[in-house]
Amino acid sequence: MKRYIQKLLLIVSLIPIGITYPAKVIPQTLSKPKLNEVSLFSNKSFITKAVERTGAAVVTIDTQRYVKKRNFPRNSQLFLDPYFEKFFGLDLPNENRPRIEQNQGSGFIFADGLVMTNAHVVNGSDKVIVGLTNGKKINAKLIGQDSFTDLAVLKIEGKGPWPKAKLGDSAKIKVGDWAIAVGNPFGLENTVTLGIISNLNRNVTQLGIYDKKLELIQTDAAINPGNSGGPLLNSDGEVIGINTLIRSGPGAGLSFAIPINKAKEIAYQLITNGKVIHPMIGISLIEESISDRKNNVVIVGYVVPNSPAEKSGIKTNDIIIKIGNKDIETASEVIEQIGKNGIKKQLNILLKRKNKFINLKVTPTDITNLQNN
């Protein structure tokens, strides 16, 4: 009987404990959602964080070009195609009605009211409208563009504050690093694709492009039409490049971006002078491997007639050994040294021609002077 009473007392004594503890347990239950919120935040992917950091600074660029008329010769082969005859109308050669051509691309705000984009996005435009992620559309004016590097700077008309993208350092990126392409293709805001850095310092002449002066970042992050001018981000959400080219046809799936360090140099010149100086001497370059040397050699492939190079005595098949005090191993080093030298200032070049070494002096000129020759 005593044992039964002791057990009963023990059960009764536990009941108040069960009643008093819930008051302490309830606050812990209510705090769980906060813990879950912190957990959800910490589980965000680096892609999400990168886009949240920079996405607001990515803009849509709508351009308009006023076209008074389009002239086609009356014997144009265009009208032999029934499709075009039906689409345009048989009386198109006499059609002189004005119209507006529209184009669209992407860009990003990198300073107070200043937008960086591709030159081909705004080239020939009479009106430029910048669309922000909050839905606002604001007129912008062209500060300057450089067709040789395919870069342009716009100024938004209006007062900020504006969201700004953080610019990274393209000299620090390596093959295999993450690459996040952001843009507004077809007006679809903040479209994001992911890939890696596939190659650095890709010369555009390797892509069959000879009217540009670019060494590009190659990535497999998909860049769609309308992404041109949008930022290429690293895993921290910093801009490391500007999306500019897409490989179509054989080898499709390759995308290219202008390194941000080069873009900053060009943008500064456009803002300061409204144009960019490109020092050139008038040669094309070929990199080759030669068995008796460990490194590549850089050979002169072509000399532009009446150029500084021709006037100084440089000839096709000359091997460039040194420019100034810099030993030359790659074509990009030649371009870099000539660029650093600037125009109207002599540059010492050491060449190897057959079995002889030759020292020459050449004065670079702006690329526009070469085109006018």
Active site residues: 120, 150, 228
User: 346: which 2 tokens?
Assistant: 């002599």
Smallest CA-to-CA distance from 230 within 164, 281, 170, 181 is with 181
Residue type, 245: L
Please give the Cα distance from 339 to 138 (Å, whole number): 36
Can you tell me the distance from the alpha carbon of 199 to that of 218, in angstroms, rounded to the nearest whole number? 5
Are residues 230 and 189 in contact, defined by beta-carbon separation less than 8 angstroms? no
| Cβ-based burial of 335 (10 A; exposed 0-12, middle 13-18, buried ≥19) | middle
CA atoms 84, 90, 94, 95: torsion sign = negative
**165 Cβ neighbours under 8 A, 6+ residues apart:** 54, 57, 58, 108, 109, 110, 231, 239
Backbone angles phi, psi at 14, to 5 degrees: -80, -25
CA-to-CA distance for 331 and 312, rounded, in angstroms? 20
Strands of 7-98 (E only): list them: 58-67
196: nearest Cα among 227, 222, 165: 222
Cα separation, 118 vs 105, whole angstroms: 8
Q: How far apart are CA 181 and CA 224, in angstroms?
A: 10
